[in-house]
C-alpha cells in the first residue's frame, strides 16, 4: 500500500472544506490521537488549543503523549484558528458529528454562540475538559 502524498492530503482536506457547515464537529486525525474543534465557517474553527500541545509544534512523540494527559496543557485555552494553521504540520480532517444519532444537535446559531462566547477561556483536563469535550458541549449542550 502506498503512502498518501502531501498533494493527495491537500485534495482530501480541500474536499472537506467544500462540505463542512458551521456547527459541524471537526476531527483532526493525528498519529497518536485526534484533535477536535467546531467549524465556524470561512475555513476557521474554534477549539481548545495549548501553546505547546504537539499540534502546532513538532515536539516529538513523548511531547505529544504528555500533552494528551495535560502535562503541557496548563495554558490551553479556547481559541479561533484558521484550519490551515491547525493543519500546518500535516494530518487529515473530517466532519465527525458522531453523536448526532444519540443526541440532537443544538441550533447552529446556539452552537456558534457557545463556541464564540467560550473564546479565551483557559484550562484543560484530559478526563473532563479536553478539546473533544469542548466540541461536544458546543454542538449538543453536553459532553
* Domain definitions of the chain by residue range: 6-138
Average pLDDT over the chain reads 79
Give the largest Cα separation in the chain, rounded. Answer: 45
Phi and psi dihedrals of 138, rounded to 5?
Answer: -65, -45
Residue 33 DSSP code = -
Give pTM, 2 decimals.
Answer: 0.78
- Check pLDDT > 70 for residue 26: yes
CA distance 123 to 136: 16
CA distance 7 to 84: 14
Catalytic residues: 35, 47, 131
- CATH architecture under which domain 6-138 falls: Alpha-Beta Complex (3.90)
Which tens digits make up the pLDDT trace of 67-118?
444 445 566 889 999 998 888 867 788 999 999 999 999 999 999 999 999 9
Amino acid at each position: 500500500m502506498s503512502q498518501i502524498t502531501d498533494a493527495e492530503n491537500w485534495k482530501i482536506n480541500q474536499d472537506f472544506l467544500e462540505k463542512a457547515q458551521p456547527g459541524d464537529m471537526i476531527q483532526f486525525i493525528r498519529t497518536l490521537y485526534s484533535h477536535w474543534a467546531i467549524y465556524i465557517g470561512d475555513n476557521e474553527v474554534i477549539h481548545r488549543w495549548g501553546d505547546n500541545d504537539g499540534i502546532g509544534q513538532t515536539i516529538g512523540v513523548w511531547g505529544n503523549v504528555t500533552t494528551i494527559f495535560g502535562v503541557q496543557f496548563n495554558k490551553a485555552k479556547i481559541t479561533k484558528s484558521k484550519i490551515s494553521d491547525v493543519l500546518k504540520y500535516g494530518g487529515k480532517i473530517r466532519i465527525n458529528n458522531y453523536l448526532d444519532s444519540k443526541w440532537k444537535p443544538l441550533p447552529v446559531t446556539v452552537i456558534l454562540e457557545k463556541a464564540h462566547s467560550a473564546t479565551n477561556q483557559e484550562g484543560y483536563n484530559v478526563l473532563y475538559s479536553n478539546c473533544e469535550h469542548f466540541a461536544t458541549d458546543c454542538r449538543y449542550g453536553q459532553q
